[in-house]
Chain A
Amino acid sequence: MLPLSDVVHLAITGVAQGCAYGLIALGFVLIYKATEVVNFAHGEFMMLGAFAVLTLSEALGWGFWSSFLVGCMAIAVVGYIVDAQIMRRIIGESQASIFILTVAFGFIFRALAGMIFGWNARSVDAPFDGKLVVGDMIEINYDRLIIIMATVIFVIAIRLFFRRTRFGVAMQAASQNQLAAYYMGIPVKRLVSATWAIGAFIAAAAGALLAPVTQVDTTIGFLGIKALAGAIVGGFGSIYGALLGCILIGIIEPFADYFLPGIKGVSAYVVMLLVLFVRPEGLIPQTYQKKV
């Protein structure tokens, strides 16, 4: 058995990792709720965000936070354009086509990022070094702590946005019934694109915040698939469900890697399949059976 301090340490790392997944999943869920499109290129938005922030701070010598803001905004614009120019055209096509389309975007983004930023892994100087130590058990690096904090901030901000602003309420309406929202005079097309922009912004922020923890290269987008697995464990219909699932996956992963080295790296998918076998809609379901 593990000593208790190691258990606590693994658990804290797990929560931080889970929050990172959760931050990515947030964007997935937003875009899914608005358009019922699962954006398989979401991890690539995250990768692009990390690269953008990195490049801005390195090439232009900006501080971390200003390049963070500008970089994330740039990716949000990319997200807006992707929806307005491409995704909008194929509304109503079969799901398989749409999945494949977003996967293809992943390919394009990865290739472009490799061509522009280079294929080698790069590391980022974090403005937040050191670690927080509480008692003799709990210690957590600041770069991980900041991910947890960012997750909490984003969740609260999104909740307020959807509950309190006109824009947010209109988005909810559009996601519940596009046609009805359209009849009510809501500019559904622009709202959907704006949702993509917000999703891309959050993904880019996740990428930039994760950059100090992991290295930045073109393959970090694959983290998005794990975030997707986490979101599915929790249930894709709600932000809290997705977040819960991601944190669950984040905690299970380090322990599974320790005790079952045979499935190192794929334990998230094992957990997801097990959950789906028992509860096909995730832990917190969101679909309704239509009655005739």
Chain B
Amino acid sequence: MQFLFKTAYNDDIRFLAKTGEKVRVSIVVIFLLAAPLFLQDYYLAELGLLLVYAIAGIGLMLLTGHTGQVSFGHAGFLGIGAYAHSVLLTVGFPFLLSILTSTAIAGLVGMALGRSASKMHGFYLAIATLAFGILIETLFGEWSSVTGGHMGYAVPALQVFGVPLTEVWQQYYVDLLFALFVVVGAANLFRSPTGRSFVAVRDSELSARCLGVNVEWVKIQSFGISAAITGLAGALLAHHLTYLAPDVFGVLESLKLLLMIVVGGLGTILGAILGAIVISLLPVGLSFLKGALPPAIGQTAGLEPLLFGMIIVLVIVFEPAGLYGRWMKIRFFFETFPYYRKSSFVRQKSYLKTERMR
């Protein structure tokens, strides 16, 4: 067991309070920085994609995990970011300006959606965002003079300050830079009043309102920041895809993002990253499983969605706090070594939380 003795005011808001956390985070960061030295191009590209999805996951996590607003249409923001970035690059914007502008565009659209969503709650919000996602996908398909419609849209090559970055490792470092920026930024947000008010709104709108939090404005902010981060991920994703098509940003992609944060663990930044790892490893695991099973079962059409669905059901039923919750338990076991009991994390009896009375 480790006790934290606070000797300064800063101890309350430090990013990494414990020595163990510092060690673990430094190991991961060093691994990520050094990855191009020992990883082959294919795996490096996958790692870059993972980082992009982690950014998108953090975007959605801000909204769903921390502010408690479910969004079924976040792939729409991913798409807005990707298309805006590609179109701006084609028009002739430099990379940095273009990525900032597309992030801002996604953020503004998010705030506009949040403006109306701030009055909704629960599943009204879920369905409204679902419809938003479907409509955005339709828009990408129909607005063919700008987005190329269903024919697709070729993404211009990655180029920063006139220097072409075509190698895999160069693109990887661009992704890593933005990923680190977003992770630190999100962690920073949650020790600021804005971030704390997000969590307050999630836990109880009524209490938050009583404490002087402007709930509507918080929701609009949360939508805006979340959409902006997801838009940034979309802009980076565009360079990975190299060819944009409307159906890439459909409902399935939104579900994938949501799956990511639920499996990872709602309400934690680490959860979004763990979820991104799962999402990246899942196809590999599934194809491995397909090979291992006898062909009569392994080759059946529909095996993948079946397993996909079963994994989600099992995770939510047996570990509602997601992988992060499991990680907490493992860590707790070692930190308090001989004192861990089965009842340390027993789930409390819970009753229906009604949303009809607000």
A interface residue numbers (CB < 8 A to B): 32, 35-36, 38, 86, 89-97, 99-101, 103-108, 110-112, 114-115, 119, 178-179, 225, 228-229, 232, 236-237, 262-263, 266, 269-270, 272-273, 276-277, 280-282, 286-290, 292
Within the complex, the shortest CB–CB distance from B121 to chain A, in Å, comes to: 8
The verdict on A108 contacting B310 (CB below 8 Å), with A263-B138, A276-B128 known, is: yes
**Interfacial chain A residues near B356, Cβ < 8 Å:** 36, 237, 286-288
Q: Do the beta carbons of B316 and A111 come within 8 Å of each other?
A: no
A-B contact pairs, 17 of them (CB 8 A): A90-B320, A91-B352, A93-B316, A93-B350, A94-B68, A96-B65, A96-B70, A97-B266, A99-B72, A107-B308, A111-B304, A112-B306, A263-B138, A269-B134, A276-B120, A280-B116, A290-B358
Q: Do the beta carbons of A93 and B320 come within 8 Å of each other?
A: yes
Alpha-carbon gap, A211 to B328, bound state (A): 49
B interface residue numbers (CB < 8 A to A): 64-65, 68, 70, 72, 116, 119-124, 126-128, 130-132, 134-135, 138, 142, 206, 210, 255, 258-259, 261-262, 266, 300-306, 308-310, 312-313, 316-317, 320, 350-358
**Interfacial chain B residues near A89, Cβ < 8 Å:** 317
**Interfacial chain A residues near B135, Cβ < 8 Å:** 266, 269-270, 273
Alpha-carbon gap, A255 to B127, bound state (A): 23
**Interfacial chain A residues near B127, Cβ < 8 Å:** 38, 228-229, 232, 272
Q: Which 4 A-B pairs have the closest CB atoms?
A: A92-B350, A107-B309, A111-B306, A269-B131
The verdict on A115 contacting B126 (CB below 8 Å), with A36-B355, A90-B317 known, is: no
Within the complex, the shortest CB–CB distance from B170 to chain A, in Å, comes to: 36
**Interfacial chain B residues near A179, Cβ < 8 Å:** 351
Q: Do the beta carbons of B130 and A225 come within 8 Å of each other?
A: yes
Alpha-carbon gap, A101 to B262, bound state (A): 10
Q: Do the beta carbons of A103 and B255 come within 8 Å of each other?
A: yes
**Interfacial chain A residues near B122, Cβ < 8 Å:** 36, 95
Within the complex, the shortest CB–CB distance from A84 to chain B, in Å, comes to: 13
Q: Do the beta carbons of A94 and B302 come within 8 Å of each other?
A: no
Count how many pairs of residues, one from A and one from B, have CB atoms less than 8 Å apart in the complex.
158
Q: Do the beta carbons of A276 and B124 come within 8 Å of each other?
A: yes
Alpha-carbon gap, A269 to B138, bound state (A): 11
The verdict on A262 contacting B316 (CB below 8 Å), with A36-B355, A92-B351, A269-B131 known, is: no
* Given A273-B132, A281-B120, 18 extra CB contacts under 8 A: A86-B313, A93-B316, A95-B122, A95-B126, A96-B64, A96-B258, A101-B313, A103-B255, A103-B312, A108-B306, A111-B309, A179-B351, A273-B135, A277-B116, A280-B116, A288-B357, A292-B206, A292-B210
Alpha-carbon gap, A93 to B265, bound state (A): 12
Cross-chain contact of B131 among A95, A103, A273, A288 (Cβ < 8 A): A273
Within the complex, the shortest CB–CB distance from B112 to chain A, in Å, comes to: 10
**Interfacial chain B residues near A94, Cβ < 8 Å:** 68, 266
Alpha-carbon gap, A38 to B352, bound state (A): 14
Question: Smallest CB-CB separation from A86: which chain B residue?
Answer: B317
Alpha-carbon gap, A101 to B316, bound state (A): 7
Alpha-carbon gap, A115 to B123, bound state (A): 31
Within the complex, the shortest CB–CB distance from B180 to chain A, in Å, comes to: 27
Within the complex, the shortest CB–CB distance from A151 to chain B, in Å, comes to: 22
Alpha-carbon gap, A35 to B353, bound state (A): 10
Alpha-carbon gap, A262 to B142, bound state (A): 7
Alpha-carbon gap, A276 to B131, bound state (A): 11
**Interfacial chain B residues near A237, Cβ < 8 Å:** 356
Question: Smallest CB-CB separation from B349: which chain A residue?
Answer: A92
